[in-house]
Amino acid sequence: MLLIKQKPDIKEADITDESLYRQRRRFLQAAAVAAAGLAAPGLLASPFAMAGEKLTGVNTGRYVLDEKPTPYKDVTGYNNFYEFSTNKQAVARLAEDFKTRPWKIAVEGEVAKPAIYEFDDLLKPHKLEERVYRLRCVEAWSMVVPWVGIPLADVIKRLQPTSRAKYVRFVTLHDPEQMPGQRPGLLGSGLDWPYVEGLRMDEAMNPLTLLGVGLYGEVMPKQNGAPVRLVVPWKYGFKSIKSIVKIQFLETQPKTTWNLAAQQEYGFYANVNPNVDHPRWSQKRERRIGEDSLFSPKRETLMFNGYAEQVAHLYAGMDLKKHY
């Protein structure tokens, strides 16, 4: 089954769009500066500063899916982001005031350029791409999302990991003042904070792996992991860690949040695999959010979420029942 078409890059924004966009930005900047009563040029100069604002200069067409994108309202209205709530429909509202600027990202470990980077300093030098990827959650639902991001490999190459770097670890912001799900309480998720995730170096460098900064042509909505999250389309959704504040290059395999919470249920690899059941339910089928009803027949889940051609080689010779 052919799921992915690879085409050469096409520049989406033409000159007219670009100059209109700049005019609008200048207006917004002037308005914001006036409202704040002070100038903050560094902050306002960012091409992806405000959640919901349109992104320009995005290359499209390299990875397209022969499937209908999930409606925007479902992509942004049904979210797993336990820092805000375990109720997927409540996350968007609870994240409304989440501050995503200024935003710093610490780069640490086995790398030539460790530093605490401003968001723009780390990501602005790179080209944005739109890629339509499926996101398949452990709970057997899926979405098709037009993500906007930067290939993680591009950023990693610039940071120059040492030869000892075998894994990359990612950490989400820990800020209980802003994130009610991180406060101790009876209704907590039981997870340990901060949320942490990891990839093997070759997985991180695979061309499919994105640092997501937007979706549907807009700056990443807060509930989807603003300002920057991972998008790893051949793995279960929980690997796509949101609101990243730290990237560490390591020699040894790091622990991950869901593996720490329930080792039997969530492994390090978490590759989408219809042949390896979750201990409490089958992973053979899925239901598309926003499209399928409870009564629709479920869709077949595909090996590596349909991306076997791109990633199966990473796991050649590994027992995927053991390394789930």
Ligand X SMILES: Nc1nc2c(c(=O)[nH]1)N[C@H]1C(S)=C(S)[C@@H](COP(=O)(O)O)O[C@H]1N2
For binding to ligand X (CB under 6 A), which residues are involved?
A: 79-83, 135, 137, 172, 195, 224, 237-238, 240-243
Phi, psi of 49 (to 5 degrees): -85, -40
| Short-list 56, 98, 61, CA closest to 79 | 98
DSSP 81: B
Interacting partner of 224 out of Mo ion, ligand X, none (Cβ under 5 to 8 A depending on kind):
ligand X
Interacting partner of 204 out of ligand X, Mo ion, none (Cβ under 5 to 8 A depending on kind):
none
DSSP 82-140: TTTBS-TTTHHHHTTT---SS-EEEEEESBSS-EEEEHHHHHTTSPEEEEEEEEE-TTS
Interacting partner of 241 out of Mo ion, ligand X, none (Cβ under 5 to 8 A depending on kind):
ligand X
State the nearest-atom distance from the C-beta of 152 to Mo ion, in Å. 19
State the nearest-atom distance from the C-beta of 318 to Mo ion, in Å. 23
Count the site residues for Mo ion by CB under 5 A. Answer: 4
State the nearest-atom distance from the C-beta of 241 to ligand X, in Å. 5
Phi, psi of 117 (to 5 degrees): -95, 145
> What x-and-dash track marks residues 133-162 binding Mo ion by CB under 5 A?
----x-------------------------
Residue from 76, 237, 286, 311 in contact with Mo ion (CB under 5 A): 237
State the nearest-atom distance from the C-beta of 182 to ligand X, in Å. 10
Interacting partner of 81 out of ligand X, Mo ion, none (Cβ under 5 to 8 A depending on kind):
ligand X
State the nearest-atom distance from the C-beta of 137 to ligand X, in Å. 4
Nearer to Mo ion, 109 or 237 (CB): 237
Peptide bond into 69 cis (omega under 30): no
Residue from 70, 80, 172, 256 in contact with Mo ion (CB under 5 A): 80
Peptide bond into 227 cis (omega under 30): yes
Q: Compute CA 66 distance to the chain's CA centroid, rounded to the nearest angstrom.
A: 21
Interacting partner of 305 out of Mo ion, ligand X, none (Cβ under 5 to 8 A depending on kind):
none
Q: CB within 8 A of 317, min separation 6: which ones?
A: none
The first and second tokens of residue 306, run together, are: 């349909």
With 0-12 / 13-18 / 19 or more C-beta atoms within 10 angstroms meaning exposed / middle / buried, residue 247 is buried
Question: Which residue minimizes CB distance to ligand X?
Answer: 237
List of residues contacting Mo ion (CB under 5 A): 80, 137, 237-238
